[in-house]
Amino acid sequence: MEEIIKKILLDNINQPIVQVEGGEAKYTIKITSDAFLDKTIIERHKMVYALLDKYIKSGEIHALTIKAMTINENK
C-alpha cells in the first residue's frame, strides 16, 4: 500500500517529494510540493485525501498523518 500511495501522489501532484511510512491501514505521508503554495493546512490535506479517497472508503487506509509543505517550508 505504501507504494500505491506514493505513486498516486507522484502522478497527481506537481513535482512532489514524497515519503510514505506505515502499515496495517495506518500511514504517515510527508509530501513537499509548490502545489501547496497559498493553501491552508486543511486545503493541503483535502488535496491528499481526495486522491486517496477510494482507499479510505474501502478501509485499506484507516488513518493518515499528513505533513504537506512547500519547498521553502521544507528547508
Query: Can you name the CATH fold of 2-74?
Result: GMP Synthetase; Chain A, domain 3 (3.30.300)
Name residue, grid cell 491528499.
48
Tens of pLDDT, residues 16-40: 999 999 999 999 999 999 999 999 9
pTM recorded for the entire structure: 0.93
Task: Give the per-residue pLDDT at 64.
Answer: 97
Give the three-state DSSP class for 48: helix
Task: Give the per-residue pLDDT at 50.
Answer: 98
- With cut-offs at 50, 70 and 90, classify the pLDDT of residue 71: very high
C-alpha cell at 64: 493518515
Task: Give the per-residue pLDDT at 74.
Answer: 86
